Amino acid sequence: MIKDNMPNALPIALGARLIKSHHINTLGLKPNFSDYSNNEKRLIKKAKKIYFPTAFYADLFNAMGKKTFPSFHTYKFVQDKIKQTAIFKMLDIPHPETRTFYGKKQKDSILNYFKFPFIAKKARGSSKGKDVFLIKNTKDLSEYLSTNKLAYIQEYMQIDRDIRVVIIGEKIKIAYFRTSGENDFRTNVSQGGTIKFDPVPQKALKLALDTAKKCGWDDVGIDIIQKNNEFLIIEANMKYGTQGFMAAGIDYKKMLEKMIISQEI
């Protein structure tokens, strides 16, 4: 925790992403604003931009007209696949055929829209490939529906790799392929996927950048798959892993710190 007597010129952060940095004044998250010291309150109010405001304060700073990084819009889509699918469709961003089903009546109609096999996911609050299921038959479907009040169903495409593009600010900081692990359809590194730094097609990179810009996301890992000659956005990860940076020999936190100091973000 940074003490009140630290230099006031340092960038101000609330979230702990760079809490050990000597160049960022991390004040910590205090849901009761009155718990901040008078000097901390002054620093927050005076700052032109607040870094890592957390989901709690991002809304409040947005209402005040104060800039944040990540952006208010980035926080609004964190781990919400339903909202992401909705914005993709509204903005005509290429996305696998996906539907959300509410209640028993709608769930009973899933097989009117999808044929086995298909993908089922936990609609909200899931990341790193957790709660993603390959539904092969009615038994699999029943098991999934028994633990999910909302059914988030997506077409299945038999692929063995996808593309992860991480965008910070307005720039791509890293892009790579992820190949699926043995006996697992998921490509997530946390689920046994492997990182490969083969050249990523420019068309996929442009799609990722355009998507982030249209959606107002400035700190996001975008996952892309290729279907025939078309690239499709699977989902956006605001809580993306940093294994790709590590594999590329990039110190993620030092990179982020440098971007803040240089006001790139």
Q: Which residues contact 214 (CB under 8 A, 6 or more apart)?
A: 91, 93
Q: Are 138 and 149 in contact (CB under 8 A)?
A: no
Ramachandran angles phi, psi of 159, nearest 5° = -130, 160
Question: Which is it for the CA torsion 102, 108, 111, 116, positive or negative?
Answer: positive
pLDDT of the residue at 221: 98
- pLDDT at res. 9: 85
Low-confidence winner among 163-177, 191-205, 240-254 (lowest mean pLDDT): 191-205
Residue ranges matching CATH 3.30.1490.20 in the chain? 97-155
Rounded Cα distance between 262 and 179, Å, is 35
Question: Where in the sequence of the chain do the CATH 3.30.470.20 domains occur?
Answer: 161-261
Q: Answer yes or no: is pLDDT of 140 > 90.
A: yes
> What CATH number should be reported for the domain whose range is 97-155?
3.30.1490.20
* Confidence tier at 186 by pLDDT (50, 70, 90): low
For tokens 């990722």, name the residue: 208
| pLDDT score at 4 | 47
Over residues 211-224, the mean pLDDT reads 98
In CATH terms, the superfamily for domain 161-261 is: ATP-grasp fold, B domain (3.30.470.20)
What phi-psi label fits residue 228: left (phi over 0), alpha (psi between -120 and 50 degrees) or beta? Answer: left
Cβ count near 18 (within 10 Å): 20
DSSP 173-198: EEEEEEEPPTT-S---GGGT-EEE-P
Secondary structure class of 13 (helix, strand, coil):
strand
**48 phi/psi in degrees, rounded to 5:** -75, -30
Local confidence band at 2 (pLDDT 50, 70, 90 cut-offs): very low
Q: What is the tens place of the pLDDT at every residue in 50-87?
A: 999 999 999 999 999 999 999 999 999 999 999 999 99
Buried b or exposed e, range 122-158, using 16+ CB within 10 angstroms = bbeeebebebbbebeeeebbeebbeebebbbbbbbbe
Tokens of residue 45, six digits: 């109010």
